[in-house]
């Protein structure tokens, strides 16, 4: 059974730092992995989608990588800003087209 | 841009009331989903629909039903609300032709059952 883990559950860093959020999954048979952002009390916003055949995707200051063989994805945020404070969730689309979710990492960027 | 609209952002209902949560998407997506999100439990799939009048149970369908009379609208129904259904409800959609494509979410509906 596919399981998705995000560690740490919470992270606090000073503004301007580069940071990495982690997402690991137990079964490499996935179609894709998607990173989302969620602001308090709001819905989810899609950030990046990496298909299983891809190694990374970039959007602005965000870069997501995927290593299927090791069951890992990272979300790299460059030059962090207070506006990046949010909860970041990853989800994998498994071989049955089911989305399996991580519990999220709550990120706080200190001004 | 894809827009998924949940008509009620905040609702307060009493135990036993019938509750309707509405979701509308404007991009002609075939697939629509209802999730609930609770602290410590993450997102859990309640129901999904891949076409008009079609519905499939997700992981936690008990206590809920859904309606998909039109392609753009997917409604979640709580026939008799209970306090353990207090939660954040999230609607999402994506096109059938892109089963491995991006999932788009609404802003969420925070339901409190007293």
Tens digit of each residue's pLDDT (9 = 90 or more) over A14-73: 999 999 999 999 999 999 999 999 999 889 999 999 999 999 999 999 999 999 999 999
Instruction: Determine whether A38 is exposed, middle or buried from the number of CB atoms within 10 Å of its CB (0-12, 13-18, 19+).
Output: buried
Say if residues A105 and A9 touch (Cβ distance below 8 Å). yes
Say if residues B85 and B78 touch (Cβ distance below 8 Å). yes
CB contact B99 to A (< 8 Å): yes
Q: Cα–Cα distance between B65 and B37 in angstroms, integer?
A: 17
Q: Cα–Cα distance between A95 and B10 in angstroms, integer?
A: 35
> A17: how many CB neighbours lie within 10 A of its CB?
12
**Lookup result for tokens 């990173």:** A35
Cis link prior to A8 (omega < 30° from 0)?
yes
* pLDDT given at position B98: 66
Cβ neighbours of residue B96 closer than 8 Å, sequence gap 6 or more: B29, B30, B31, B50, B51
* pLDDT given at position B49: 94
Task: Identify the DSSP state of A16.
Answer: T
* pLDDT given at position B2: 67
Per-residue pLDDT of chain B (114 residues; tens, 9 = 90+): 668 999 889 999 999 999 999 999 998 999 999 999 998 888 999 999 999 989 999 999 999 999 999 999 999 999 999 999 999 999 999 987 666 778 899 999 999 999
* pLDDT given at position B41: 84
Most confident of A78-82, A93-97, B26-30, B48-52: A78-82
* pLDDT given at position A72: 97
Between the two ends of chain B, the Cα-to-Cα distance in Å is 37
List beta partners, residue B11: B111
Query: Which residues of chain A have a Cβ shorter than 8 Å from any chain B Cβ?
Result: 31-32, 34, 36, 41-46, 49, 51, 89, 91, 93, 97-99, 101-104
Q: Please, which pLDDT band fits residue A98 given cuts at 50, 70 and 90?
A: confident
Give the closest-approach CA distance of A68 to chain B in angstroms: 16
Interface test with B, best of A35, A38, A44, A95 (most B CBs within 10 A): A44
Of B43, B103, B108, the CB nearest to A42: B108
Determine how β-strand A72-77 pairs with β-strand A62-67: antiparallel
Say if residues B82 and B113 touch (Cβ distance below 8 Å). yes
């Amino acid at each position: 059974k596919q399981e998705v883990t995000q560690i740490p559950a919470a992270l606090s860093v000073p503004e301007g730092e580069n940071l990495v959020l982690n997402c690991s999954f137990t079964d490499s048979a996935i179609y894709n992995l998607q990173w989302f952002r969620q602001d308090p009390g709001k819905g989810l916003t899609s950030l990046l989608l990496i298909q299983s055949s891809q190694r990374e995707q970039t959007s602005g200051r965000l870069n997501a990588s995927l290593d299927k063989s090791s069951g890992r994805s990272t979300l790299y945020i460059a030059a962090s800003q207070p506006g990046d404070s949010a909860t970041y969730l990853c989800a994998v689309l498994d071989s049955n087209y089911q989305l399996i979710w991580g519990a999220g990492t709550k990120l706080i960027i200190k001004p | 841009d894809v827009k998924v609209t949940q008509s009620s952002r905040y609702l307060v209902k009493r135990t036993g009331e019938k509750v309707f949560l509405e979701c509308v998407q404007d991009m002609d997506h075939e697939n629509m989903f209802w999730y609930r999100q609770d602290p410590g439990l993450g997102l859990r799939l309640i129901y999904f629909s891949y076409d008009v009048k079609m519905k499939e149970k997700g992981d936690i369908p008990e206590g809920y039903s859904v309606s998909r009379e039109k392609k753009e609208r997917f409604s979640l129904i709580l026939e008799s609300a209970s306090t353990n259904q207090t939660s954040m409800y999230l609607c999402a959609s994506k096109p059938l032709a892109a089963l491995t494509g991006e999932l788009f979410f609404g802003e969420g509906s925070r339901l409190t059952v007293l």
